[in-house]
Structures are given as C-alpha cells and as structure tokens.
Amino acid sequence: MSALEAIQSTLALEREAAYSNKTGGTSEGNVQAGIDTKDVSNKNAITVTQKDKVSAAIVTAITLVVFMMLAVWMLI
C-alpha cells in the first residue's frame, strides 16, 4: 500500500457524504439538456491527407515489429 493511499483512506472517513437534493445540494438537473440544439455540423472536423495515412502506417509497422521482437525475446 502506498503512503498516499494510506493517508487518503484515513481521511476519507472524516468527510461528509456527497450532497444531494435532500442534503443541501442546489443544482437542478435538466433531462432535456443538449436535445434541443439545432447545430448538426461537426466543429472538430479534420481532413486526413495521404501523408497522415502513410505516417500512421509507419508508426503502426514500427509498433508491431517492436511488439513481435519483445514477444520473441520473452519466448527465448
């Protein structure tokens, strides 16, 4: 058990329970939140170029080669 975990486990018992509507919480929920939006466009749209695809393929190939080398090393 780490020191931080030991300290937190003893301090957690001294805290009050989380607030709810019955115990003083003031936040009101809205089950319709986000449903009435009219904006359907993706604001985070990106364009993937051929250069990006080649870079991803190279990184994937290097990762697979390293993984296979480590697997062989573990078997030997």
CA distance 66 to 58: 12
pTM: 0.45
Q: Are 19 and 25 in contact (CB under 8 A)?
A: yes
pLDDT at residue 41 greater than cutoff 90: no
The answer, yes or no, to whether residue 57 has pLDDT greater than 70, is yes
Residue 49, helix vs strand vs coil: coil
pLDDT level of residue 30 (50, 70, 90 thresholds): confident
Q: Residue 72: what pLDDT?
A: 97
pLDDT value of residue 33: 79
Quote the pLDDT of residue 43. 80
Q: How far apart are the first and last CA of the chain?
A: 34
